Amino acid sequence: MTTTSAAATGVAGGTERVIGYSRAINEALAEEMRRDERVWMMGQDIGRLGGVFGLTRGLLDEFGPLRVRDTAINETFIVGGAAGAALAGTIPVVELQFADFLFTAADEIFHKLAKWRYMHGGQFTMPVVVRLPSGVVGGAGAEHSQSLETIAMHVAGLKVAVPATPSDAKGLLKAAIRDPDPVLFFEHKGLYRVKGPVPESDEHVVPFGSARVARPGNDLTVVATGLMVDRAVAAAEQLAPHGIDVEVIDPRTLVPLDIDTIVASVERTHRLMVVHEASRTAGFGAEIATQVQERAFFALDAPVWRVCGTDTPLPQDPELEQACIPSTDEIVAAARALAAI
Amino acid sequence: MTNDPGPDREQVQREVYRKVVTIRFAELRIREHVEKEGFGGFWHPGIGQEGLQVGAVSAMQDDDYLYYAHRGLGYAFAKGMPLEPLFGDLLGRANGSTRGKGGGTVHFADASRHVLGQGGTLGSNFVMGAGTAAASQLLRDGRVTVVFFGDGASGRGTWHEAALQASVWKLPVVWICENNGWALSARFTEQSPTEHVADRAPAYGMPGVVVDGQDAMAVHDATAEAIDRARRGEGPTLIEAKTLRIRGHYEGDRQPYRDDPVLGDEIPNDPVHRLGESIPDDVRRGIDAEARSQVEQAFGAALAAPRADRSVIFEDVWA
Ligand SMILES: Cc1ncc(C[n+]2csc(CCOP(=O)(O)OP(=O)(O)O)c2C)c(N)n1
Ligand SMILES: [Mg+2]
């Protein structure tokens, strides 16, 4: 687990507790529902069961069945209904059981959430959060394991959060719920059990569009998100004794994207590698690489490299599945080669 | 529901007539414009269907929510939207309710009158409407959501998801199907296993009501009853108003696929005439003259308004 310093989380002073990523999300939901009566939730099995991943445990008891609503298996209603409920003055926070199901509710996500405000001349806001358990978790298969954040990034009108630590999961979710725009909130399933320090405050809100330096360094910039942040930091620790000082940057949100922090880092390190679990082709790594060469071409001493998921569906077998996403060893090897160019 | 021809009802009918005839003049004015000047988009004429639209919306309260369909302007005008922004949207003018982003097939909206807009993908309003009603249920605001859709849109799967959840939760929503017999080139009778869309309602545990869509007051009454039921917390109703698509799918559609008598100008059971019958001639002529000049004035104002500046492209992406 990341040894996140207080400085890295942006918290000056104040007390912290070590809690899990799941617990952090649960607390964010409960605190925001206590703070604002307009906030409510719906999704499959979120009430009586507390969610298939246990994220909403206890919320039905505290907030009752009208604010924590179990739906039928109806993703278009969960998202489209949230859009309609937002127009009537509420703040829906909905859960799709797996991020992959954003395709099941694609019209509602990419058309209704993303464009309603725009199409109607700015007369409405669309304060909806869609929580999306994302990524590889071990044998969930090709339709329950994808990292689809780039697709969300490509359609204008959606904000995209990809928290990698308990602190960011909590702070970004609170920011998402307070945001008047629709947010796709990609929670990494592989991080749910990970623990880390979280500031002890109801007002721990992490602003969108501000990257976090997960590990400072001088020789090579690695941009990573989600599960890949810890792997990149672990790779950096392995490389340090060999004289390669890697800076790891976690953008935390892809829309808006804090490209300034990435460019400033590359201007110091002169080398950039992007690591993501999502498939390689047209992933967000391609976008970051392009933006960096547009803005800092002459700062680069080497090509921008990507270490990414394979351009294949994900096999169901947990071992094969791991072979489809970047490992710490692969990140180490690629960083070593890139630093040598 | 009341069929008493008391003074209130006479007033309601007169107001429905006024709105229907206003929209009729608007229909004719827009058609004239499309034929003479061309149009940047598709105008889906609702001529002949104005009665059911106005009749239904007239049963709504001011703060009830409306999701309209693409066939004309009757719904939004009946909900209180002025003509000028509606025309402005159609003509891509800065005075449109979308401030210039519209043009042709539009997404007019009026947040203050609870006209919540329209999705470009048919059937998206089923789930949104149910969600809006869920918000009303949570907030206990006493509002009802009315959702219009066509016989073609009734084929969307979103109907199933929305109807099932709305009925289970007893949401305050009323679905109104304008069955005009056609979905572009698809004949309803070839795309439905049952005679009526409303036949599907019992499967969702909700009432399904078939009503003559050319009889505006009958649609008004059926809608009023469904709205009352919804407001009492008894859940949704599916109303199917039988009507006819008089013109093409869009103005200019030559309808080579159409083998029923293409109606063109004749409107069987014209709601304008049916509503007007009981209104004294002089009163009716007064209403007509007023409606016609209102349309002319608003259309002229929209035509004279500037087109939007390109800067609007970048506006309203984010709050
Ligand atoms: C999801 C979706 N599919 C197809 C279309 C294209 N389309 C627009 S209107 C229409 C016909 C609609 O028929 P109906 O619902 O009966 O309404 P009507 O035009 O008869 O009023 C079609 C196919 C669309 N806009 N959205
Ligand atoms: Mg039709």
Q: Among candidates B242, B292, B239, which has minimal Cα distance to B59?
A: B239
3-state secondary structure of B208: strand
Distance from CA of B311 to the nearest CA of A (A): 13
What pLDDT does residue A306 have? 98
Cα separation, B110 vs B94, in Å, equals 15
Asked if the model's pLDDT at residue A8 lies above 60, the reply is no
How many distinct structural domains can be found in chain B?
Answer: 1
Cα separation, A92 vs B130, in Å, equals 13
Q: How confident is the model at residue A90 (pLDDT cuts 50, 70, 90)?
A: very high
E strands present in A157-208: 159-161, 183-188, 195-199
Distance from CA of B45 to the nearest CA of A (A): 21
Q: How confident is the model at residue B4 (pLDDT cuts 50, 70, 90)?
A: low
In a domain, B309, yes or no: no
CA dihedral B75, B69, A72, A60 (to 10 degrees): -40
Asked if the model's pLDDT at residue A325 lies above 80, the reply is yes
What is the extent of the structural domain holding B236? 7-301
Q: Is A77 in contact with B127 (Cβ distance < 8 A)?
A: yes
Domain assignments of chain A as residue spans, ordered by start: 6-199, 212-340
Q: Is A77 in contact with B317 (Cβ distance < 8 A)?
A: no
3-state secondary structure of B67: strand
Q: Model-level pTM?
A: 0.96
pLDDT, tens only, B116-153: 999 999 999 999 999 999 999 999 999 999 999 999 99
Q: Is B140 on the interface with A (CB under 8 A)?
A: no
For ligand 1, atom 20, which residue shows the shortest CA distance?
B183
In a domain, B79, yes or no: yes
ipTM passes above 0.90: yes
- List, in order, residues 6 or more apart from A199 with CB less than 8 Å away: A9, A11, A14, A15, A16, A167, A171
pLDDT, tens only, A99-132: 999 999 999 999 999 999 999 999 999 999 999 9
In a domain, B2, yes or no: no
What pLDDT does residue A288 have? 98
User: Which of B121, B184, B242, B257 should be mutated for ligand 1, with most atoms under 8 A from CB?
Assistant: B184
Q: Is B131 in contact with A84 (Cβ distance < 8 A)?
A: yes
**CATH class of residue range A6-199:** alpha beta
In a domain, B319, yes or no: no
**CATH class of residue range A212-340:** alpha beta
In B147-206, the residues whose Cβ lies within 8 Å of chain A are 157-158, 161-162, 164-165, 168-169
Pocket of ligand 1, beta carbon within 6 A: B 44, 71, 120-123, 150-153, 178, 180, 182-184, 245, 249
As a whole number, mean pLDDT of residues B231-256 equals 96
CATH of the domain at B241: 3.40.50.970
Distance from CA of B7 to the nearest CA of A (A): 35
